[in-house]
Amino acid sequence: MLRWIDLPPMWLALFGGLAWGQARWLPVFRFGGWADALGAVLIGAGLLIGVAAVAQFLGNRTTVIPRRTPGTLVRGGIYRLTRNPIYLGDALILGGLILRWDAGLSLVLIPAFMALIEKRFIRGEEVRIRQEFGAAFDSYAARVRRWL
């Protein structure tokens, strides 16, 4: 049961909840109108990147579920720019929410979220992918950064 709760969207929801709580109960300052616009752009970009990545997984008939071994090494499309577009999209969404909510103190949550995702998910995924695809993954990883 806990394994299904320990998924990246749940961590995004938790970090988003922390940012929302900080904005509500410890409002320090307002960013201004520019932050609403930039926040909306970041949220939209994060959603688009995530949807594009999931579509590529589905199109290649491989799993999108963390901790499962993929059947295909996806290297095209958005995966030419980043090895982890879904997680990058999640980080962009979190950043956008923080800006929209004027949760300035919560900006520190973005690198904390990224570090947690890397430790809990990415490192293990990369081990499984390397075991499954060997030199093909090593070559891909040498060309494409983990985040951006």
Asked if the structure places residue 22 within a domain, the reply is: no
pLDDT of 78 higher than 60: yes
- Predicted structure pTM score: 0.94
Asked if the structure places residue 1 within a domain, the reply is: no
Q: Which domain holds residue 52?
A: 33-143
Confidence of residue 2 (pLDDT cuts 50, 70, 90): low
Asked if the structure places residue 124 within a domain, the reply is: yes
Task: Name the domain count of the chain.
Answer: 1
Give the pLDDT confidence score for residue 67 in this predicted structure. Answer: 84
Mean pLDDT computed over every residue of the chain: 94
**For residues 64 and 86, what is the distance between their CA atoms, to the nearest angstrom?**
9
Give the pLDDT confidence score for residue 55 in this predicted structure. Answer: 96
Sign, CA torsion 124/128/129/134: positive
Asked if the structure places residue 89 within a domain, the reply is: yes
Asked if the structure places residue 23 within a domain, the reply is: no
**For residues 8 and 104, what is the distance between their CA atoms, to the nearest angstrom?**
23
- Listed in sequence order, the residues at least 6 apart from 129 whose beta carbon sits closer than 8 Å to its beta carbon are 69, 70, 73, 137
Higher pLDDT, 16 or 4: 16
Asked if the structure places residue 122 within a domain, the reply is: yes
Asked if the structure places residue 6 within a domain, the reply is: no
pLDDT of 139 higher than 60: yes
Asked if the structure places residue 60 within a domain, the reply is: yes
Give the pLDDT confidence score for residue 30 in this predicted structure. Answer: 84
**Residue 28 · residue 137 · CB < 8 Å:** no
Angular region, 145: left φ>0, alpha ψ -120 to 50, beta rest: beta
The predicted model gives 40-56 an average pLDDT of 97
